[in-house]
């Protein structure tokens, strides 16, 4: 059975995908790691660079964003200065987040992704999933799309479209077209630069997983979020039962799911037969080393090595999903002299990789016996989200971030809602307290109202972020052990 477990109560949002009782994916969304991919802006061209055949667009962020000539609809090999001029207003969509070194990447070819199709208001073309390989049926589908498509429009039919009804396709197409029309009207009334549409990352990730799995149970700890999901037209596409987790205990703890911060730092993963893999991350790539460990096998050495490698292939593919590891990945399997064994291990990895929603490319084994893999990156990995470089070890290792420690403390305090004591004492480092209380103590006051308790802070020094609940009691008693923030 498939189970989707959603923690939407606090500022840190979490999603776990559980298949047949085993955790298969973790997704953590924190405010400071917001991805703007898919966001639509009304921007102003700030500079046209003829030499780069591109322009820079002010969309209201600290950095101006980059827009290349090829990312304009129907550019027909025109130069950038023939397409736009400085000061021109344009509707654009983010296709790649920026970094300290690079500006965000934009496109003026807006995409509206749906469950069955991708709608491009100015795409000018029709594309079909490659999985439909029957040429006659492809022509029939293209002819059908052309009957309903306006001249400027573009459409990409997903694989799911061919297993759906034409009515459902038209309904989704109409819905996405209406969304775009509303965005255009909003731009006409807005002063650039302006944000026209933002994606709710948790909601979009949840629907992507629901579409991938088709059916199962959705368990959530926040009634408003659950209601929003059930009211969305996409909810009816699958067969999902919903459950509201109303117990005081944190939802991830209740279902015995590991803490994301601790899990992401775990290097050694034991395999069923006694072998283990070691996961190490470098700046350029991720390396997974396979070891036989306690497993000696009951037959030949070749069989021992093969079985260990087979288990490692399955677990490695699963860990890539769980930790959302992307980029270049090398797996150092135990040496196999037999070519047939290598092919079987590669096939085993490929079978498990089919469960992955991200694009994975398997490049086979190098001459040194390392399996080469690349996995597409669409957002920061789990370890990048929940940890920061360790100040104590000068960046050679990682510790949980102040935000992650603050959110963990927040979840602990949620379990005190039914506690009758009037105050709670917490121990925090200054950075955790800053993340915890919010701007002008806004979240501190909100949390006190939710808990019906005063929160008293014992601020301590520490080289790593600390946020933990010490005890509950009376305000008079606990005030002697920490700081009571007076309401503004």
Note the helical H segments in 161-269. 166-189, 201-213, 223-231, 251-254, 260-265
CB 300 within 8 Å of CB 336? no
Please tell me the predicted confidence (pLDDT) of residue 298. Answer: 64
Structural element, H or E, at residue 442: helix 442-451
Upstream peptide bond of 193 is cis (omega within 30 degrees of 0): yes
Angle (deg, nearest 10), helices 135-148 and 166-189 = 40
As a whole number of angstroms, the distance between CA 175 and CA 114 comes to 9
As a whole number of angstroms, the distance between CA 72 and CA 80 comes to 9
According to CATH, what is the number of the domain 40-107? 2.40.50.140
Long-range contacts of 253-258 (CB under 8 A, 24+ apart): 255/5, 255/16, 255/18, 255/219, 257/5, 257/16, 257/18, 257/23, 257/26, 258/23
- Tokens 């929003």: give the residue: 228
Q: String of b and e for 188-199 (b: at least 16 CB within 10 Å)?
A: eeeebbbbbbeb
CA 289 to centroid of chain Cα atoms: 26
Q: Which has the closest alpha carbon to 410: 35, 36, 34, 31?
A: 31
Give the Å distances, CA to CA, from 476 to 93, 296, 426, 450, 479. 55, 62, 15, 21, 5
In the chain, what are the domain boundaries?
2-34+200-254, 40-107, 112-197, 260-375, 401-484
As a whole number of angstroms, the distance between CA 198 and CA 40 comes to 7
As a whole number of angstroms, the distance between CA 372 and CA 471 comes to 51
Please tell me the predicted confidence (pLDDT) of residue 391. Answer: 72
CB 319 within 8 Å of CB 270? no
Give the Å distances, CA to CA, from 466 to 9, 259, 426, 459, 478. 21, 15, 10, 10, 19
Q: Which has the closest alpha carbon to 215: 245, 236, 201, 244?
A: 236
Please tell me the predicted confidence (pLDDT) of residue 297. Answer: 62
Could you read off the pLDDT tens digit of each residue along the chain, which spans 488 residues?
Answer: 899 999 999 899 999 999 988 888 999 998 887 889 899 999 999 999 999 999 999 999 989 999 999 999 988 889 999 999 999 999 999 998 887 778 999 999 999 998 889 999 998 889 998 888 888 999 999 999 999 999 899 999 998 898 888 998 999 999 999 999 999 999 999 999 999 999 888 999 999 899 889 899 999 999 999 999 999 888 987 899 999 999 989 999 999 988 877 778 789 999 998 899 999 988 789 999 999 887 666 667 888 899 999 999 999 999 999 899 999 999 999 998 888 999 999 999 999 999 888 889 998 888 888 999 999 887 778 888 888 877 777 666 778 899 999 999 999 999 998 899 999 999 999 999 999 999 889 999 999 999 999 999 999 998 889 999 999 999 999 999 999 887 65
**In the CATH hierarchy, which top-level class contains the domain 2-34+200-254?**
alpha beta
CB 66 within 8 Å of CB 106? yes
As a whole number of angstroms, the distance between CA 480 and CA 80 comes to 67
- φ/ψ of 441, rounded to 5, equals 60, 25
The three-point CA angle 252-253-258 to 5° equals 75
According to CATH, what is the number of the domain 260-375? 3.40.630
Give the Å distances, CA to CA, from 27 to 21, 30, 225, 384. 17, 10, 16, 12
């Amino acid at each position: 059975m498939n189970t989707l477990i959603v923690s939407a109560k606090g500022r840190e949002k979490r999603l776990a995908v559980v298949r047949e009782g085993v955790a298969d994916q973790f997704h953590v969304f924190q405010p400071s790691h917001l991805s703007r991919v898919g966001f639509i802006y009304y921007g102003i061209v700030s500079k046209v660079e003829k030499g780069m055949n591109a322009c820079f667009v002010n969309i209201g962020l600290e950095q101006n964003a980059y827009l290349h000539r090829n990312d304009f609809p129907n550019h027909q090999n025109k130069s950038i200065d023939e397409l736009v001029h400085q000061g021109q207003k344009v509707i654009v969509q983010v296709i790649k987040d920026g970094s300290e070194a690079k500006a965000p990447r934009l496109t003026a070819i807006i995409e509206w992704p749906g469950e069955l199709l991708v709608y491009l208001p100015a795409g000018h073309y029709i594309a079909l999933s490659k999985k439909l390989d029957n040429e006659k049926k492809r022509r029939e589908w293209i002819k059908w799309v052309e009957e309903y498509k306006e001249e400027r429009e573009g459409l990409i039919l997903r694989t799911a479209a061919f297993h759906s009804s034409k009515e459902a396709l038209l309904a989704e197409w109409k819905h996405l077209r209406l969304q775009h029309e509303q965005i255009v009207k909003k731009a006409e009334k807005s002063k650039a630069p302006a944000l026209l549409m933002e994606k709710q990352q948790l909601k979009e990730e949840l629907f992507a997983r629901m579409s991938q799995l088709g059916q199962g149970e959705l368990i959530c700890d926040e009634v408003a979020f659950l209601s929003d999901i059930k009211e969305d037209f996409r909810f009816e596409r699958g067969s999902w039962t919903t459950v509201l987790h109303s117990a005081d205990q944190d939802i991830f703890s209740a279902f015995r799911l590991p803490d994301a911060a601790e899990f992401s730092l775990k290097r050694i993963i034991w395999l069923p037969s006694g072998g283990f893999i070691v996961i190490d991350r470098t700046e350029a790539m991720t390396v997974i080393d396979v070891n036989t460990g306690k497993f000696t096998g009951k037959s030949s050495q070749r069989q021992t090595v093969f079985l260990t490698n087979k288990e490692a292939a399955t677990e490695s593919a699963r860990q890539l999903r769980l930790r959302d590891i992307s980029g270049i990945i090398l797996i150092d399997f135990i040496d196999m002299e037999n070519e047939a064994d290598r092919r079987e291990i590669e096939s085993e990895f490929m079978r498990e990789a089919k469960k992955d929603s991200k694009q994975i490319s398997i490049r086979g084994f190098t001459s040194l016996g390392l399996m080469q893999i690349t996995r597409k990156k669409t957002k920061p990995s789990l370890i990048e989200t929940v940890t920061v470089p360790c100040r104590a070890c000068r960046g050679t290792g990682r510790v949980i971030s102040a935000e992650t420690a603050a959110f963990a403390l927040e979840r602990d305090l949620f379990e005190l809602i039914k506690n009758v004591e009037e105050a709670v004492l917490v121990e925090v480092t200054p950075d955790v307290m800053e993340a915890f209380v919010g701007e002008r103590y806004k979240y501190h006051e909100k949390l006190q109202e939710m808990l019906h308790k005063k929160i008293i802070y014992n601020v301590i020094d520490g080289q790593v972020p600390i946020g933990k609940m010490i005890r509950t009691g009376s305000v008079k008693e606990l005030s002697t052990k920490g700081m009571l923030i007076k309401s503004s």
